[in-house]
Amino acid sequence: MASPPLRFEQRTAIVTGAGQGLGRAYALLLAGRGAQVVVNDINVAAADGVVEEITDAGGIAIADHHSVSTPEGGVALATEAQDAFGAVHIVINNAGVNRPAEFADLTPELFDEMIAIHLLGPCHVLWPLWPAMVEQGYGRVVNVASGAVWGLRGQAAYAACKAGIMGLTRTLAREGRYHGVRVNCVLPWAVTDQSPDRSGEEFGPIIDAHIHPENVAPAVIWLAHQDCPASGESFTVDGPRMARLAWIASQGHTDPTPTPESYRDHWDQIMDLTGFTVPKSTNDHMQNTVMPHFNPSTEEPPQPQ
């Protein structure tokens, strides 16, 4: 017997940067599943166009044109959503820009712009909404990072901010777990109108056929549903492929009297991921990854082997 479809009736969702591309796909799918959607985008025509698409299809949506790059914009967005629909249950922090530049060519002003939008933007949106989510005992937050965190030339500022989003997600999930608020992170990959033409590349036909926003959106919307059990996790979503990402730690090398040479001489052991652990939190890392390498009976580190 097939499972019932996932629905979002009586849920209000904010999607930032929802005027085009991935954000638009998230907003359309949420609305198609019954959610009331706040379509946020500083491109007025784009946001209004997505709202028109939703309402023409029988859905419920309003447009918001505030920038999430300032605290004032975050407060105004939250206020508009609450005035229109009451409680806010879902936030998808998707808004962003990309300013590719080699690190040597980055300016503090460019870096500040990226931080304001990509790292502080989700905070600006959540600061006015988080207390209400805690009070109502329910919330779903999906933060959007990027595969650039693995290292991508010309993307130092972008990658740094997106890596920060992954760390923010982990901590918010720890704080929200006591209040019914779950927070996860996605690293999506999709070809949009702004993407370079890949049709002539070896994998171009596959990318064109599968790696598009409509195939990414279902994974993001699943993370936004009340039935999704995950929190504090990150997922790569490559078109129609969703996979869990994990921060892992090797068994490493413990030396009670460390020297640079001792780590040099045990470098292979330090780098060996055999028997790796997956810390769930900072405390978990200490308890299950670090402390087992020390002898609890003597409170002294074991002798190196």
Active site residues: 158
Report the Cα–Cα distance between both ends of the chain, in Å, rounded. 57
User: Which residue's structure tokens are 């990402």?
Assistant: 245
Distances (CA, A) of 136 to 83, 119, 142, 219: 17, 26, 18, 25
Q: Where are the beta strands (DSSP E) in 248-299?
A: none
CA distance 155 to 163: 12
Give CA separation, 72 vs 126, 138, 142, 294, in Å. 12, 24, 21, 49
Contact 13, 37 (CB under 8 A): yes
d(CA 171, CA 281): 8
β-bridge pairing 181-189 and 60-64:
unpaired
